[in-house]
Amino acid sequence: MSPIHIHTFWRSGKTYLFNKIRSCEKTLVFYEPFHHFHSFLTPRIISLLDDQAWPSHHPRLLHPYFFEYFPLLRLDGPGVEGYSLSFSELNFFDNNNDLLEQKKYLFSLIDYAENCCLSPVLIYGRSMGRLPWMLKHMRGKHISLQRSIRGLWHSSKAQWTLHNDPDYLLNPVENLIMANMDQWIQEYFGELGLLQLRTLSRRTENIRDLTLFLLTDSGTLVMQAFCAVIALGYALAESYTELIVDLERVSDWEYRQYIELEFRERYSLTINLHDCNIPEYSCSKEISEVENYYYNCLDIARQHVSRGQFIHGNDLSS
């Protein structure tokens, strides 16, 4: 079976789907290949990073999140062999460059699975901004897993307000500040007035201090960055992935049957999604503002993605 690449954002239901596919026979599923944790993983850290290690609201896992990376750890120190932190941060919006080390690393995961006579499945939480690169350089099938902006915002904000974990709100800001960008992506964020974040970063070398400052003193800017990054990723998914899975619709029987059939016939994966339960959230003034801004971003993102296609194309054959 061809490698399968599943692309999504944080708080999207990817861990639920990861756990389902992990239980399929003859598959080897790599969780978040671009995650910054791969720079310091050790056998002990992997064993500690399970669904009980933090208030994730994730399903009970068959094994710790990064269990499949055990045989791929470096022999001379912590971390996964071939992984670089630049894969997580600097390359988030980089589609123009060959990025040979990134490509070599991802193929090392695929090759390992195939050498074990298993079908490789890679589930990414940090690939949506680089979908043209992924499609050009990574053979196999490409799927997008999506959740509504309302659900993503609610879930991400709850991690901050209830558990003092701002990462999910700040990740898009940090991507905007730090990542290399294709010209057309710069133009997209420029049209939204968000490139100012890159100039703000010159005031401090501590990106986390800057983003925490923005979260407490400029919540609107954080919201705008969040929506803009999500909108760009979803606009890219419309052109660069062959199947879009909306987990919030899986509770609908007909849609669930359709998705399960697609996985079975297209990808030879038999999964049962009957227990999928993505929370629904009521609307509020804040959510209305988030959704209005997001849909404006999505319209603009689609225009810029269409321009980017002149550079990258959108051939989904594999």
What is the tens place of the pLDDT at every residue in 102-146? 999 999 999 999 999 999 999 999 999 999 999 999 999 999 999
| Mean pLDDT, range 284-300, rounded to an integer | 95
Q: Is 176 in contact with 90 (CB distance < 8 Å)?
A: no
Amino acid at residue number 297: C
pTM of the model: 0.93
What confidence category does residue 310 fall into, taking pLDDT thresholds of 50, 70 and 90?
low
Per-residue pLDDT for 24 more than 50?
Answer: yes
Residue 316 is predicted with a pLDDT of 54
Pick 251 or 71 by higher pLDDT.
71
pLDDT (tens digit per residue) in 151-167: 999 999 988 888 888 88
* Res 318 pLDDT > 50: no
The percentage of the chain sitting over the pLDDT mark of 90, rounded to a whole number, equals 71
**Does residue 288 have a pLDDT over 90?**
yes
Residue 197 is predicted with a pLDDT of 83
* Each residue's pLDDT tens digit, 56-100: 677 788 899 999 999 999 999 999 999 999 999 899 999 999 999
Residues 6+ apart with CB under 8 A from 4: 119, 120, 121, 122, 140, 141, 143, 267, 269
Q: What are phi and psi of 16, to 5 degrees?
A: -60, -50
Q: What is the pLDDT of residue 45?
A: 96
Quick one: tokens of 187? 């133009």
Average predicted confidence (pLDDT) for the chain: 90
